Structure 1
Amino acid sequence: MDQPCCSSSLQSPSIELPEILPPQKSKREKERPTVCSICGGSASGFHYDVPACNGCKAYFRRYVISERNFKCKNNEDCFDLTKREKPIKCRPCRYKKCLDVGMNPLALEVDEKQAEAENFKKITKRVKVEEIEEDDDDIKSKQLVLKTVESVQEKMQRLSDMLTYLEIKLDQFQTSAYNPHWGQVQGLEFLLRSNNRISLADRYGPMPGWPLSSDPALAADNQPVLGKGPPPYSTDKKHWLYFNLLTTVEYVKTFGFFHRLNARDQYILTRYVTLACMNLHVSFTSVAKKFDCRIQPDGLKQPFKDEEHYSNSVMSIVPLIRYQVQSIEYVLLKAICLCNPAVPDLSEHAQRLLTKERQQFAEALFDHCLRNRANGPSHFSDIIGIVDVLERQQRIQKDLHLLHVAPLVAKAPRDRVIQIIDDIMDS
């Protein structure tokens, strides 16, 4: 599984094993046997754990408690009933057949003298060794199952920890003093070719003076107005649609699988999924801060409830509150949104790769829901349903941009055009 390029500590969750039911006796075990497993004659019952006649039962007992050993004068197949209808009289082959079909010498009742017989000591020792080996194999098999379960859980936990760590770095990036003029970011293609910028948060440090005043007038000065274009650039105030999109593109670039896509597929995928991932990010961070509206990292609420596109902006907040989505569920859902193989015009290679990656993130989310939610499968279905809400939300946003913003952008001076917004919205 490809994971974000970051690291974190691991904590393996406790493993709940399913109940093991007691073994059930089969119908066959309850039926009286009719054929002797050794000679093929009529069986009188189960003797020493196998169906046998009284003659073979008595012979096995006599041989085990005796001191005598015999050797077959033929090919040691005298009791092989696949080669003949009736066995050839042969004492060693008859005894060998008793052992081959599973007669148990430990089931014999013997006195102290009989227990000292050479044959009895030899055969019981062999049976005990075989039982120990079987027990060892059984233990090893159970250990392998446990190790496999633990390995899967560790993999899921490691993935979750890495995604959570990545979100921490994104939050630091958004609240940092790094605030490039949009003219320095020459569109989506330029951003995809350039080095990842998330680490710049450490160099620039936090933005001084944040959080800003919650004065509505100040907030209005720092956001684009539908149909009027972006506000003037300011070093200490961020244009949040622009910077949130930039942050999301940098998020996409941290995934290893993304760099196995060719440049065309990278552009097509990022252009399509960035807005949905951005909406989910802004919505969840707002809900995590106990808001039911969108609040930006500088502390300002955007947009306001009296604005015409307010209902669209909070569309993805509603299900996050309704389903009480946890942080780990959010980071996995965001990765699922990113790995969208249904994006139009992707190559077959990209579709296969994204399908594989999305499946693994979905499995991690499903596993989490099963282990941590009372109604696991239903909750998983509810969370996955948020993807449709995000798709619908971004479609409305892109339509609004096309109708109200794009005509003005076409006439605006170049220094007022934010190319990355146009690239993503015009798709």
Structure 2
Amino acid sequence: MTHAVIAGAGEIPATRRPGADVTTRELLIAASRAAVADAGLTHRDIDGLGVASFLLAPDQAVDLSWQMGLRTTWLAEDILSLALLRHAVRAIEAGDASAIVLVGGDKMTGRGFTAMMEQRYSSVWRDQLAPLPIGGPNSLFALLTQAHMDRYGLTRESYGRLAVSQRAWAARNPRALYRAPLSIYEYLAAPLVADPLSIYDCPPLAAGAMAIVVADRKLVKRRRGACRIAVRSIAASYNADLHDGDGLTTGISAVAPRLWEQSGVAPTEVDHFEVYDDYPVMVLAQLQDLGLFTDPAAFVAAQPGDRPWDRINTSGGLLSGGQCGAGGTMKGVVEAVRQLRGSRGPGQLDNPRFSVVTNYGLVPYRYGAGAVGAVLEGDR
């Protein structure tokens, strides 16, 4: 355990159709200010800034720092927003900063997403995938879902149980984008986007931003009411199989042993999991890589109330909460902070102690190349 703690969190809830006057920069600044206030700090206390955003360009972290009126000694940018937490923890430990804002988000709309994937995402997408009529990553992950179904004997209903469960959590989250009840029958009857994926398997693009403050424990110790969420362990893996694998085993498989060893926490001790849910199949893949089960079919067949089946993505995840670009995983961190400090409101778990958050993404060709995981502990 380090002496760096998560001291505050802020969120600008996702919206599906943002106004023309809404900008990615404004979303990031608003979420950052909310997190700083939540930590009981002021902008004068902040000496570090980390940014995860696809659409802030051409501006960078240094520009956002100036626009926020921050004088900083540490800056970072990373599209995997959970990776920023890893960088920030190391910076606090090294004495490079004492209070760092980490913010992720985008004004992500259909048109903006298409332009990003075709022009700015990567040279592989621009040169090899964009010219093909594949419709973006949905088609790629439809193929992964088909392979997963074949290997483990799953059906569309298997993945639907995750989507329905997360919608039930979203119904108790006033910040979630979609809160109306979703039944398995509605899920199965939904239009297909890329067989076997339906509209409920693909996170809706949205505009929004999430932020946290990572600070030296000594700095926030004197702040009355300030939360102090400990980072028990955090680890990352990139290009774990160099895209020579089948995609059903993620980089989390390389991360998990370090997470459990460094934290001293076993998977069975974790109270809830905030797993990156760009598609339900990847939720199951990451949970399996974390060591929760060996048979996905048996896991999804478990009855509601069986732990940890009913403790996954308690915010509603991206599938019901909206995909705000590079801020996707920050949503899971913010939810973990709220649960661990007991401020979730409706949907609050009973005195949770440990949370696990994962980040999966960076699709250079066929599936995600980056994976980050963290074990967090509450200190109430």
TM over 0.5: no
Answer 1 or 2: higher relative contact order, Cα 8 Å, separation at least 6. 2
Instruction: Please identify which structure carries the higher strand content.
Output: 2
Greater CA radius of gyration, 1 or 2?
Answer: 1
Instruction: Please identify which structure carries the higher helix content.
Output: 1
